[in-house]
Amino acid sequence: MAKLDVNLSGLKLDNPIIPASGTFGFGYEFSDYYDINILGSISIKGTTKDPRYGNPLPRIAECSSGMLNSVGLQNPGVEKVVSEELPKLRKCFSKKVLANVSGFSLEDYVYTCEIMDKQDEVGILEVNISCPNVKHGGMSFGTSPESAAEITRAVKSVTKKPVYMKLSPNVTDIASIAKACEEAGADGISMINTLMGMRINLKDRKPILANKAGGFSGSAILPVALAMVYKVYEAVNIPIIGMGGITTAEDVVEMMLAGATAVEVGAANLTEPYACKNIIEELPAVMEKYKIDSLESIIGGAH
């Protein structure tokens, strides 16, 4: 019998499939479609210290092999996520979730992570360091090893649960940033976040997104994600949650061979609500096809 279970820093998942933050809401929205308890876990919608309306419309632009988004971290703020959203999820999901945390200053991250760390529903803190550092000219925290390490140390000082740092691919050397996070105490790495992209309306000759550029995701970015996960796997000794362009069970196996312990599915959920369910159901047949008895046995197998 195929063994689909994996272990993320002591958190055992029945399978490695996790809907990615921002593409699955707070999870309970999808319970109308299927029993979401079949999922390995859920990375809930990115949460910030204060409520955020997000960026102006339009926020979404289509591409032939993916999509652009500039949602801008719309969420009700950590207090309401804890008091309203997590209780709703608890009614239909019995497993631990990944709390995706974003911020615009070091203090934001510390405040939100400290609250999320105390929630019973939370198994792992996924810290998104692709946000602009408002105190340093808007440059992302995740663009330098020093700032990434600073956030990691600060969050680890106020939390007890595993901390996974979510890295941006829009950098020169993602492996050095991952290594800096590990040295600062990170328990794992989550990667990759979206690439930067743009679409232009030919009629008015202006960018389609109100924010001009946005995050590019979808099947087209899979090769980029694989290359970066492969590189980071050789640089660190902590688990990696791989994401970027995952749409099939074969993609999952490929990502795990590159070095991922678990896999997040993002844009696919927006076009096919059953994407994660379908992948989980397809995995045993794919494992049989490629003579894989246990998914844990293939992690990093391409190295």
Encode pLDDT of 137-150 as tens digits: 656 899 999 999 99
Residue 1 included in any domain: no
How many structural domains are present in the chain? 1
Q: Retrieve residue 31's tokens.
A: 């319970």
Mean pLDDT of 264-277: 97
Residue 77 included in any domain: yes
8 Å CB contact between 201 and 208: yes
Q: What is the pLDDT of residue 248?
A: 98
Residue 156 included in any domain: yes
Mean pLDDT of 224-244: 98
- C-alpha 89/C-alpha 76 separation (Å) is 15
Give the residue from 236, 132, 120, 234 showing the smallest Cα distance to 185: 236
Encode pLDDT of 157-182 as tens digits: 999 999 999 999 999 999 999 999 99
Q: Which residues are the active-site residues?
A: 131
Residue 303 included in any domain: no
Q: What is the pLDDT of residue 145?
A: 97
- C-alpha 44/C-alpha 102 separation (Å) is 12
**pLDDT band for position 83 (cuts 50, 70, 90):** very high
Mean pLDDT over the full length of the chain = 96
Domain extent at residue 135: 6-298
Encode pLDDT of 174-218 as tens digits: 999 999 999 999 999 999 999 999 999 999 999 999 999 999 999
Q: Which amino acid is at 141?
A: F
Encode pLDDT of 21-67 as tens digits: 999 999 999 999 999 999 999 999 999 999 999 999 999 999 999 99
Residue 19 included in any domain: yes
Q: Which amino acid is at 159?
A: T
Q: Is the pLDDT of residue 19 over 90?
A: yes
The number of C-alpha atoms within 13 Å of 123 and in the hemisphere containing its C-beta is 19
Q: What is the CATH number of the domain that holds 261?
A: 3.20.20.70
Q: Retrieve residue 258's tokens.
A: 């590159």
